[in-house]
Amino acid sequence: MVAVRFGPELRFICVAAPEYLERAGVPKTPDDLAAHQCIRHRLPSGKLYRWEFERLGQEMLVDAPGRLTLDEQGLMIDAAIAGLGIAYIAEQAATEALAAGRLVPLLLDWCPPFPGLFLYYPGHRRVPPALRAFIDVLKQVELPPSVLAQELQDTASTTHSA
């Protein structure tokens, strides 16, 4: 297989509104999430997404507790801004809300970046001309973070695998 990278490194982080954190406290570790309302993410398959954390080589999967379950990252961000709980989202998708102070990043030392998105194709076969043209464009053009953030809002649940 041949991999062609497109876009920057990505990172999924926990976020919450300052008002929620004043009311419920700030989690210091992923285990602390058990005492919080989390905004859960339902995947297209119907399964609930388990939040992924890593620190100093220790990996953790957390079944986030919470009454609210959504299937779209933009709605998860809106719910977090409204103070309904802690969301686990692509950092790039919440750039504006983070910069404006409407959301606060949490557990950053447990949320390392990963290499980002790649296009994989078999290297031992002749590549069709349309795919070759697409690959050539990917190699020449780096997606700006704002474009990538929109793509993540639309497709994060089906493209993220850490």
Residues found in the chain: 162
Question: Per the domain annotation, does 127 fall within a domain?
Answer: no
Residue 120: half-sphere exposure toward Cβ, Cα within 13 Å: 4
Enumerate helices (H) and strands (E) in the chain, giving the number of each: 5, 9
pTM of the shown model: 0.75
Q: Is 137 exposed, middle or buried (0-12, 13-18, 19+ CB in 10 A)?
A: exposed
Counting the structural domains of the chain, the total is 1
Question: Per the domain annotation, does 37 fall within a domain?
Answer: yes
69-114 pLDDT, tens digit each: 999 999 999 999 999 999 999 999 999 999 999 999 999 999 988 8
Question: Per the domain annotation, does 92 fall within a domain?
Answer: yes
Domain range for 15 = 9-114
Question: Per the domain annotation, does 57 fall within a domain?
Answer: yes
User: How distant, in Å, are the alpha carbons of 14, 25, 51 from that of 39?
Assistant: 10, 16, 11
Q: Give the pLDDT confidence score for residue 146 in this predicted structure.
A: 46
Question: Per the domain annotation, does 70 fall within a domain?
Answer: yes
Place of tokens 């102070």: 101
CATH of the domain at 66: 3.40.190.290
pLDDT average per 10 residues of sequence, the chain (162 residues):
80 97 97 97 95 94 96 96 97 95 97 82 82 81 52 43 40
Question: Per the domain annotation, does 18 fall within a domain?
Answer: yes
CA trace torsion 143, 147, 149, 152 (10° rounding): -80
Per-residue burial over 139-152, b if 16 or more Cβ lie within 10 Å, else e, is: eeeebebeebbebb
**In sequence order, which residues have a C-beta less than 8 Å from that of residue 161 and are 6 or more positions away?**
none
Question: Per the domain annotation, does 139 fall within a domain?
Answer: no
Task: Measure the CA–CA gap between 90 and 77, rounded to whole angstroms.
Answer: 10
